Amino acid sequence: MTEPKFDLGRVVATPAALAAIREAGQAAGDLLGRHRAGDWGDLNADDARLNDDALADGGRLLSAYRLRTGTKLWVITEAVGDDDRRPSTCLLLPDEY
């Protein structure tokens, strides 16, 4: 198992994202594990590089995954706050952003 690269903070999800994950027969924990390990999913090289930079500078992190049903799902972890922690991670559909 790959070591986590950052803490997720409080994990939340939209009802639509949870329904899409359930419909695909997948587990939110698997997607969160990929995200936390630095597997950014279906991002282009520039966006993946921005995430790699954000690991160092505390910026926001975004992963994009295609579920088995073809639905696209985003996982967004907020930037590090004044307390040097990332407050939260949200699973959502792109059109909910």
Give tens-digit pLDDT for 76-95: 999 999 999 999 999 999 99
Half-sphere exposure of 62 (CA within 13 A, CB side): 17
Domains of the chain by residue range? 10-96
Give tens-digit pLDDT for 10-36: 999 999 999 999 999 999 999 999 999
pLDDT band per the 50, 70, 90 thresholds, residue 64: very high
